[in-house]
Chain A
Amino acid sequence: MLAYIIRRLLYAIPILIGVNLLTFALFFVVNTPDDMARMQLGVKRVTPEAIEKWKAERGYDRPLVWNSAAAGGAKLTETILFSKSVRMFVGDFGRADDGRDIAREIGDRMGPSLAIAVPTFVLGLFVAISFALLLVFFRATALDISGVVLCVAMMSISGLFYIIGGQWLVSKVWHLVPISGYSGGFDAAKFVILPVIIGVIGGIGASTRWYRTIFLEEISRDYVRTARAKGLPERVVLFRHVLRNALIPILTGVVVVIPTLFMGSLLTESFFGIPGLGSYTIDAINAQDFAVVRSMVFIGSVLYILGLLLTDISYTLADPRVRLQ
């Protein structure tokens, strides 16, 4: 078990290196820093001096992978690859275009992101599983059929609609909560509640349908028939036997996203003016701040790989067949 986890951890290293090289290639090789400078400063009538200044300010004036001008080990370290990509492994993300330290900014913005993402995730999971269990309990009845139709309809609606519609109805028509904004402490509740509810509603269609399929697949297995042959009531069959087994595939799909909750939600945060990582990313994309986008790509994949690792571990915990072999 321990050896297994260590092996998974070791396996993550080449993947992180791959991600790092990929982002490096994407940001510095496909387009040279000169291209980026020209784009940022305006394509036409830009002087070579301005470009050099722009690059020097951001540390893009070094060679890409090999600095023949430098001495010794600096041949490798005094390069864009090392200073901009490899340094990310130790949490050095450099500075954004507005001069702020990206690592610090990320630390500050994690809180608000989590304040939205965690309740959305927990509540969404709970609601969707309960709803799916309800449908499965009443399977093949009108309730089940209309439930599935509702799910399909709900997942056919754009996420933007839920946000825009929710904001309009709850904040503008009913004036229940502020339309956007954020504050620390307990005051946060009034800013958080609407995005959370909208997030849950927006995700409920797809996940309920998925859980229902898993439950139905599980319910057609032989051991369920055995349980019924023992005389167990349907409720017990569903909660003791089916739910336990269905949790295994559900876990694999769900655990992987937990670490990425740190990243926040792009749409929700930007619509509700939450100063989290999601809106940070969107602002960076709109401002074409490559340093921030690059950092977020790297952090996102680190968190995803962490999620894969957590999935493996939770899987071994949930399934005795994996745990005990």
Chain B
Amino acid sequence: MIQPVLLWSDALLFVLIAAIVALVFWARRQDALRAAWGRVLKDGMAMAAATVLAVFVLIGLLDSLHYRARLPAQPGAAARYAVEVLSALDALLSDLRQRSEKTYSAPLATHLFAREALENSTQREFPRLKHGGAHLGADLSNHEFDIAVRVSRGCAGGLLVWLLLVSAWCRWRGVAVVEMLKVGACRPAVSTHPGFRFAAGERNPQQTESGTAIRPVFLTLLPILLLFGIAIAVGGGYHVFGTDKVGQDVLYLSLKSIRTGLLIGTLTTLVMLPLAVLLGILAGYVGGWVDDLIQYLYTTLSSIPGVLLIAAAVLMMQVVIDTHPEWFATSAERADARLLALCLILGMTSWTGVARLLRGETLKLRELEFVQAAQAFGVGRFAIMRRHILPNLMHIVLIALVMDFSGLVLAEAVLSYVGVGVDPTTISFGTMINTARMELAREPMVWWSLAAAFSFMFALVLAANLFADAVRDAFDPRASA
């Protein structure tokens, strides 16, 4: 039927997921870590943010299951597969993907955005869209009514799914639905959000007594499901966010951009983490010339302005890729290689901050008495670093991981704009904005591509920021004291 394709970035992403799962199991056995995650789970704002993130991650994962479709078999010939690499998400959204128009059209429009000379007429008119509103036929009088019907149908569908989920959960946990949603059963943590760390303690007792803050999860799921319902219902007949210059559906592009954003946000940090951790701990614990050398290394690297170093490295990488076209079988692989290279470059330029932080923390830990106690037993250097230093730095590593994520997602857009981002054929927020920017001068403005890209990016980054805040506050030893 199909031929699965495993791109390098997919492989890394799955490795990453496996690592996270393994880490979760490891953390469950570690008291302190479990307690810290417990604090995150009890934080309403964090759980709401995590819900939004989970939806994004789900879309990103669906988009990472790549395959090549089998071409219609010719009798007698061996099976052949399409050149185009598709993903599970593409399959789900095949309607959106295939129903492209000729060029720009506004959201929910039935006609193209610009007048064109029609074949059988001398006048320039707005041509009808091939797909948007096609089901209405010639009679456009009930265009708005049709949209209203679709919106309410979508809402109803979303609500139904939500109610099903809620009741399923309540049945599983043996709680009455009303009870679970009652205010106070598990207070939304707006006033107690740890981002606002006020005094000695800020969490209310109701939260410490109850377990996971499940209510915010469902309250966040409700609007998400409603939006999904509307998008499905309306998207069946119209282009919800309009179409871009080559007539592609903007909603489709936005959904496809999520994977790129997620990859850049996570892989980058992971690429640099092992190096940063190793060098940071070595510099801090071993000291002497090792410390001098590592410090020299990261001061030199960090003294080059980030964007310029990235630009220089990306330019050079481009030359390498362009001069070796034979390395890549498909254009998807080529774009993927470029994406990975970008992650690598971003990682190489940004490990310095984490390494410096870890070095400083190691210097403090090294003087602590439990390290000296280990030294008094003659425990070897590397055993001390592994047993005593590293586990006590993990919270910093984790905080760095989540705090960097949102910055990297935003950076991708800027880099793509500067021209040193992902491959122009890779769909990303940056490339969307970059292409849409050309049309800003148009009167009236083509605003929907920009609006869609910015709002998706905002939702993703805001959720990531809020979640990162909660994680930082939960893991920061000063907060848990």
A residues near B (Cβ < 8 Å) are: 14-15, 18-19, 22-23, 26-27, 30-31, 35-36, 38-39, 43, 139-140, 144-145, 148, 152-153, 155-161, 164, 167-168, 172, 216, 260, 263, 266-267, 281-282, 285-286, 288, 290, 293-294, 296-297, 300-301, 304-305, 308
Contact = CB atoms under 8 A, between A and B. Distances in A.
A301 to B, nearest CB: 4
Contacts of A305: 303
A324 B462 CA distance: 45
B441 to A, nearest CB: 9
A18 B294 CA distance: 13
B195 interface: yes
B305 A144 contact: no
A19 B304 CA distance: 7
SS class of chain A's interface: helix, strand, loop or mixed? helix
B458 A156 contact: yes
A18 B299 CA distance: 10
B260 interface: no
26 contacts: A15-B300, A19-B304, A26-B313, A31-B319, A31-B323, A35-B320, A43-B322, A145-B190, A148-B195, A156-B461, A158-B429, A158-B454, A158-B458, A159-B410, A160-B414, A160-B417, A168-B445, A263-B305, A266-B307, A281-B311, A286-B419, A301-B304, A301-B305, A304-B303, A304-B305, A308-B303
A300 B319 contact: no
Contact of A301 (B191, B196, B303, B414): B303
Contact of B420 (A23, A172, A285): A285
Interface string B303-327: 1110111011101101110110100
Contact of B319 (A39, A156, A160): A39
Contact of B454 (A140, A161, A167, A290): A161
A266 to B, nearest CB: 6
SS class of chain B's interface: helix, strand, loop or mixed? helix
B357 interface: no
Query: Which of B302, B323, B414, B457 has the largest number of chain A CB atoms within 10 A?
Result: B323
Contacts of B315: 285, 288, 290, 293
A160 B433 contact: yes
Sorted nearest first, the 4 A-B pairs with minimum C-beta distance are A18-B300, A300-B305, A156-B462, A156-B461
A156 B406 contact: yes
Contacts of B309: 297
Interface string B243-258: 0000000000000000
Contacts of A35: 319-320, 323
Contacts of B319: 31, 35-36, 39
B418 interface: yes
A157 B311 CA distance: 23
Contact of A300 (B308, B325, B440): B308
A167 B190 CA distance: 34
B34 to A, nearest CB: 26
Query: Which of A139, A156, A305, A308 has the largest number of chain B CB atoms within 10 A?
Result: A156
A30 B465 CA distance: 37
A216 B458 contact: no
B308 A293 contact: yes
B336 interface: no
Nearest to B309: A297
A148 to B, nearest CB: 6
